[in-house]
Amino acid sequence: MANMAQAIRMALHYGEENLGVKDIFGEDVGAPLGGAFTATQGLKTAWNSPLDERGIIGMAMGIAMAGERCVAEIQFADYIFNTIDLLKIAGNTHWVSNGQYSMPLVVITPVGAGIRGSVYHSHSFDAWASRLQGWKVVMPSNALDCYGLLLSAIEDPNPILFLQPKALMRSRGEELIPGEPESEKELKAMIDAPIGDRSKWKPKWPKLEKYTVPIGKGKITRQGDQITVVSCGRHLLLCNEVADALKQEGISVEVIDLRSIYPYDWAMIKSSVQKTGRVLFVNEDTEVTNFGEHLAYRVTQELFYQLLARPRVLAGKNVPGIGLHPNLEDATVPQKHEIERDIREILAEVP
65 forms part of the interface with other proteins (CB under 8 A): yes
Annotated catalytic, 325?
no
8 Å CB contact between 216 and 312: no
Residues 292-311 that bind other proteins (CB under 8 A): 298
User: What does DSSP assign to residue 193?
Assistant: P
95 forms part of the interface with other proteins (CB under 8 A): yes
How many residues lie near other proteins (CB under 8 A)? 46
**The one among 7, 60, 213, 242 contacting other proteins by CB under 8 A:** 60
Closer Cβ to other proteins, 265 or 287, answer by number? 265
DSSP per-residue letters across 162-186: EEEEGGGTT-B-SSPPTT--S-HHH
Distances (CA, A) of 302 to 79, 259, 269, 271: 37, 22, 11, 12
Cβ neighbours of 134 (radius 10 Å): 18
Q: How many C-alpha atoms does 307 have within 13 Å on its Cβ side? A: 20
DSSP per-residue letters across 281-307: EEEEEESTT-HHHHHHHHHHHHHGGG-
**Catalytic option among 94, 121, 123, 235:** 121
71 forms part of the interface with other proteins (CB under 8 A): no
**The one among 20, 33, 101, 336 contacting other proteins by CB under 8 A:** 101
214 forms part of the interface with other proteins (CB under 8 A): no
Distance CA 266, CA 61 (A): 30
94 forms part of the interface with other proteins (CB under 8 A): yes
259 forms part of the interface with other proteins (CB under 8 A): no
Closer Cβ to other proteins, 12 or 60, answer by number? 60
189 forms part of the interface with other proteins (CB under 8 A): no
Reduced to 3 states (helix: H, G, I; strand: E, B; else coil), residue 80 is: coil
Distance CA 266, CA 230 (A): 11
Residues 158-187 that bind other proteins (CB under 8 A): 158
Closer Cβ to other proteins, 111 or 295, answer by number? 295
Q: What are the backbone dihedrals phi and psi of residue 166, each rounded to the nearest 5 degrees, phi first?
A: -65, -30
264 forms part of the interface with other proteins (CB under 8 A): yes
**The one among 4, 57, 77, 138 contacting other proteins by CB under 8 A:** 57
Give the torsion sign (CA, 176, 178, 180, 182).
positive
Residues 24-53 that bind other proteins (CB under 8 A): 49-50, 52
Whether residue 159 is preceded by a cis peptide bond, meaning omega within 30 degrees of 0, is no
**The one among 5, 24, 59, 191 contacting other proteins by CB under 8 A:** 59
* Minimum CB–partner distance for residue 101 and other proteins (Å): 6
* Minimum CB–partner distance for residue 94 and other proteins (Å): 5
In 3D, which of 253, 243, 255, 238 has the Cα closest to residue 112? 238
**The one among 3, 19, 54, 300 contacting other proteins by CB under 8 A:** 54
Categorise residue 228: left if φ over 0, alpha if ψ from -120 to 50, beta otherwise: beta
99 forms part of the interface with other proteins (CB under 8 A): yes
DSSP per-residue letters across 109-130: EEE-SSS---TTSS---HHHHT
**The one among 17, 32, 44, 55 contacting other proteins by CB under 8 A:** 55
Q: What does DSSP say about strands 227-231 and 279-286: parallel, antiparallel, or unpaired?
A: parallel
* Minimum CB–partner distance for residue 77 and other proteins (Å): 20
* Minimum CB–partner distance for residue 294 and other proteins (Å): 8
Give the catalytic positions in this structure.
121
Q: Which residues contact other proteins (rule: CB under 8 A)?
A: 22-23, 49-50, 52, 54-55, 57-68, 70, 85-86, 89, 93-102, 104, 133-134, 136, 157-158, 216, 263-267, 298
